[in-house]
Structure 1
Amino acid sequence: MFDPGWLPELLAAVLASVIAITLHEAAHGYAALGLGDPTAREAGRLSLNPLRHVDRVGTILVPGVLLLGQLLTLGRVEFMFGWAKPVPVDVTRLRHPLQGMMLVAAAGPAMNFFLAWLAAVLLHVTWLLGDFGSGDSVGWGYRFLALSILANLVLGLFNLLPIPPLDGGRILAGLLPVRLALGFLQLERYGILIVLFVVFLLPRLMPGYDPVGWTLRHVVAGAFDLVLRLAGHGA
């Protein structure tokens, strides 16, 4: 049965994710513009308007199916997955194509890590305003900021996977010799399928194989702790 008590938390999670994704994509566009490629600006994608970055499948259909499916079967939301429409970048218009592509790709995760740190800094404000407690007394502002840290870390770290078209794949291509980089980038057409297979299908075929759980426990948790420390909190 549907539990309406999850709505505030769901709203906080959706808002945190929208901000993380929007600024991630905008960072790519602004980095490309700074390196000589105005394609995103010409396409109207150099924008902080989340609607400009909506992908009908990745932003609406897939998350919508996951949301409704979990609410109808579990009565709560435990997991969400989706993606935004990539900001267009014309590598040939960058002043130094391969190295420029690497820097443009790195701008997205870098923005997410900055936003995670900023949210952690703003947690100090929730303490001053008395928006922090324990259990059900934790305020919405505190939940939103904590979920913002999590959303930005997950988005930033996920995109660093060295598989094109993810940002990590393009960063790796920028470090490779030109011939190897061009061959490696041919994987872009299969990249999302590779990610979906490794992350979502293999765990169902191989009991005990849980890359998402392992990453959350060991990588994201460690990054969360580091961000809190850098923002002046304890562990």
Structure 2
Amino acid sequence: MFGFNFDKRILYIIIGILALRRIAAYSTQEGALLGLLLTIPGLLIAISFHEFAHAYAADKLGDDTPRRQGRLTLNPMAHLDPVGCFLLLFAGFGWGKPVMVNPNNYTRKTTLEKGDALVSIAGPLMNFFLAILFTIILCLTLMYTNTNINIIGSAMYISSSSEMTQIIIETIFYIISINIGLGVFNLLPLPPLDGSKVIRPLLPYNVKTWFAKNEIVFYIIFLVLWMTGIAGMIISPIISTLNTGLLNLGFSIFGI
């Protein structure tokens, strides 16, 4: 549809401007810098496990490409993309280094599209699993430290006699939130996100062909949605609902 090659440097410049705006906002908020630092463990865990899940799924399907490229590891350095991590910290969205796979190497009885869908959905599913796991860890921490917590919307209020305990609880909370956010974000059915490959086997052939030919359109749609705040309006309520719902479920189960 477009007669030009899309220069990713344009993408970096535009979202870099968004990141600078977010940094400026942080500089005027009390305690925002500490909150930013406490998100770093969540970022490392979410991205590393997300990309590892892609690599592991591909490896199990018979493609050894991720293994040969050193991606079948939980070492964050193998999975972090500098620009994507910077934006995840400051702009509210980002990405890890994509795991390269070769669907032609799949040895299990599956079509190339279904194999791609399985590899793609493995990342978000891992993020949701981590969110559940750390919700359990959070509940156990609250129980054994006699700490009270109150979640109102996206705000969290902690009552603890120990500052270190409060920092640990906040860090766990961010790990949960970031994993839910990364999982939901990647399930958006827009190329190049995981969601586009997850739904591909369900689409008619002509629709799949159109998607492949017009992938640049979806990059532009993606940028427009984020720059105008429409994406946030769509995704934020979903993330907030899942986050609050998961925490409340955990609190109910553990009697907190």
TM-score bucket (shorter structure)? 0.7 to 0.9
Residue 228 in 1 paired to residue 254 in 2?
A: no
Instruction: Percent identity, please.
Output: 35
The corresponding residue for 2:7 is: none
How far apart, CA to CA, are the structure 1 residues paired with 2:31 and 2:106? 49
RMSD, aligned α-carbons: 2.6
Q: 1:35 to 1:186 in 2, by over 3 A?
A: farther
Q: Is the 8 A contact 1:131 1:141 kept in 2?
A: no
Q: Tell me which residue corresponds to 1:34.
A: 60
In structure 2, the residue matched to 1:87 is 99
Partner of 2:78: 52
1:155 to 1:63, Cα distance in 2 relative to 1, 3 A: closer
The secondary structure found in structure 2 opposite 1:121 is helix
Deviations 1:64-103 (A, max 9, x none): 7x4xxxxxxxxxxxx5332211111112222421000011
The one-letter code sitting in structure 2 at the alignment partner of 1:56 is P
CA shift, 1:123, in A, is 1.4
Aligned-pair distance for 1:137? 4.0
Contact 1:120/1:228 (8 A) holds in 2? yes
SS of the residue 1:129 aligns to? helix
User: Which runs of 5 or more residues in structure 1 are unaligned?
Assistant: 67-78, 204-209
> Quick one: which of 76, 97, 101 aligns to 2:116?
101
Over 3 Å counting, the alpha-carbon distance change for 1:150 and 1:129 in structure 2 is same
| CA displacement at 1:180 relative to structure 2 | 3.8
Kept in 2, the 8 Å contact 1:8–1:140? The answer is no
Q: 1:165 aligns with which of 178, 183, 192?
A: 192
Give the equivalent residue in structure 2 for 1:219: 238
- Gaps of at least 5 residues in structure 2 are 1-26, 150-156, 161-165
Instruction: Report the TM-score, using the length of structure 1 for normalisation.
Output: 0.79
1:115 to 102, 126, 130: 130
Matches of 1:4 and 1:222 in 2, distance apart? Answer: 26
TM, length-normalised to structure 2: 0.73
CA distance in 2 between counterparts of 1:136 and 1:124 reads: 13
Residue of structure 2 in register with 1:176 after alignment: 203
Matched-pair contact (CA < 8 Å) for 2:65–2:102: yes
Match in the other structure for 1:17: 43
Provide the aligned length of Structure 1 versus Structure 2.
213
Alpha-carbon separation, structure 2, partners of 1:150 and 1:224:
6
The answer on whether the counterparts of 1:161 and 1:169 sit within 8 Å (CA) in structure 2 is yes
Any idea what the Cα deviations from partners look like across 1:96-124, whole Å, max 9, x if unmatched? 21000011111011001101111111112
The answer as to whether partners of 1:109 and 1:159 remain within 8 angstroms in 2 is yes
Match of 1:156 among 174, 183, 192: 183
Cα distance, 1:225–1:28 mapped onto 2, change above 3 Å: same
Q: Does 1:132 align with 2:152?
A: no
Q: What do residues 152-176 of structure 1 show as CA deviations (whole Å, max 9, x unaligned)?
A: 1111011111111101100111222
Task: Report the counterpart of residue 173 of structure 2 in structure 1.
Answer: 146
Partner AA of 2:55 in structure 1 = G
Summarize the Cα distance change of 1:40–1:223 in structure 2 as closer, same or farther, 3 Å threshold: same
